[in-house]
């Protein structure tokens, strides 16, 4: 058992080393550099020094030549944002926690509606080759359409940006779940279906007691893919329609020229996506049968 655990530790050490290298490169790339002009200014009179201090430019301290924020600036921004993530000072000034909550709520509702539609329909397609052939042209036409292409139509018909975002999440989530469910149901071993037929099991009991347990890993795979796409799309949708959400937070901070807040929001988006993916990976592992 002990040798099997070592690769995990090695992978963790490599990840930490790569993370440290990334931070080092970031620090070196954004480290302040003292220019020739600053060196000359350091030899000027004390009056010039006082004037530089009043202007916020100390001649004795190095000034960054790049506009990209450094690690110290990022650390200060993260401390400030995480100190009070749920503040609410009006429509355009909400904490990162509130904005993240709005996005997760939209994703969760759109994803749940998509699951209620895609999983039963996937069972129908997987159990009925006739229905699969009949609906396949519609699926192949609608599936390649970008979810954001539906946003103008949703805004025109629904006339509500929040509900339109939920609709876009539904559209982008339904196809991976539908296709994976149909594939998983159609791939159930014939022997198990023949045994259920011999025992004269009703179609509903066969679906829940035979097909669902066998197809659960494939269904969870489709749900995992759908969640990744949904989290990707909601950020882009919120940047387009505005209002609330983590995507709107990114766009609003960019308009405020706060690059550190934009980078912080990007990190929050990435970490949240990783947590969601790990959650579905855990569920997939729980329903996977291993001999």
Q: 78-109 pLDDT, tens per residue? A: 888 888 888 888 777 788 899 999 999 999 99
Q: Output the average pLDDT for the chain.
A: 81
The answer to whether 61 and 68 are in contact (CB under 8 A) is no
The answer to whether 236 and 148 are in contact (CB under 8 A) is yes
Q: pTM of this prediction? A: 0.79
Q: Which has the higher per-residue pLDDT, 177 or 256?
A: 177
Q: Note the pLDDT of residue 65.
A: 41
Q: Which has the higher per-residue pLDDT, 31 or 76?
A: 76
The DSSP H or E segment spanning 187 is none
| pLDDT greater than 80 at residue 230 | yes
Q: Note the pLDDT of residue 188.
A: 83
The answer to whether 192 and 213 are in contact (CB under 8 A) is no
| pLDDT greater than 60 at residue 110 | yes
CATH architecture assigned to 96-287: Orthogonal Bundle (1.10)
Q: Which has the higher per-residue pLDDT, 87 or 64?
A: 87
| pLDDT greater than 70 at residue 152 | yes
Beta bridge partners of 33: 63
């Amino acid at each position: 058992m002990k040798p099997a655990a070592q690769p995990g530790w090695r992978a963790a050490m490599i990840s930490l080393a790569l993370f440290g290298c990334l931070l080092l490169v970031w620090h070196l790339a954004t480290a302040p550099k003292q220019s020739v002009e600053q060196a000359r200014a350091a030899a000027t009179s004390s009056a010039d020094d006082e004037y530089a201090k009043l202007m916020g430019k100390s001649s004795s301290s190095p000034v960054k030549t790049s506009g990209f924020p450094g690690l110290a600036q990022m650390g200060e921004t993260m401390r400030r944002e995480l100190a009070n993530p749920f503040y609410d000072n009006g429509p355009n000034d909400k904490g990162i926690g509130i904005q993240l909550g709005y996005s997760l709520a939209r994703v969760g509702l759109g994803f749940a509606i998509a699951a209620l539609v895609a999983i039963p329909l996937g069972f129908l397609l997987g159990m009925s080759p006739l229905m699969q052939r009949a609906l396949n042209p519609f699926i192949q036409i609608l599936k390649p359409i970008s979810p954001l292409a539906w946003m103008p139509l949703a805004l025109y018909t629904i006339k509500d940006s929040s509900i339109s975002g939920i609709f876009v999440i539904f559209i982008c989530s339904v196809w991976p779940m539908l296709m994976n469910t149909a594939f998983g149901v159609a791939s159930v071993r014939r022997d198990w279906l023949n045994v259920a037929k011999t025992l004269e099991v009703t179609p509903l009991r066969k679906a829940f007691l035979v097909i669902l347990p066998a197809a659960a890993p494939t269904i969870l795979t489709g749900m995992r893919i759908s969640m990744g796409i949904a989290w990707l799309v909601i950020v882009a949708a919120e940047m387009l329609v505005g209002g609330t959400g983590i995507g709107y937070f990114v766009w609003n901070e960019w308009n405020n020229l706060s690059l550190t807040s934009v980078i912080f929001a990007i990190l929050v988006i990435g970490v949240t996506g990783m947590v969601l993916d790990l959650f579905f990976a855990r569920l997939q592992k729980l329903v996977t049968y291993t001999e």
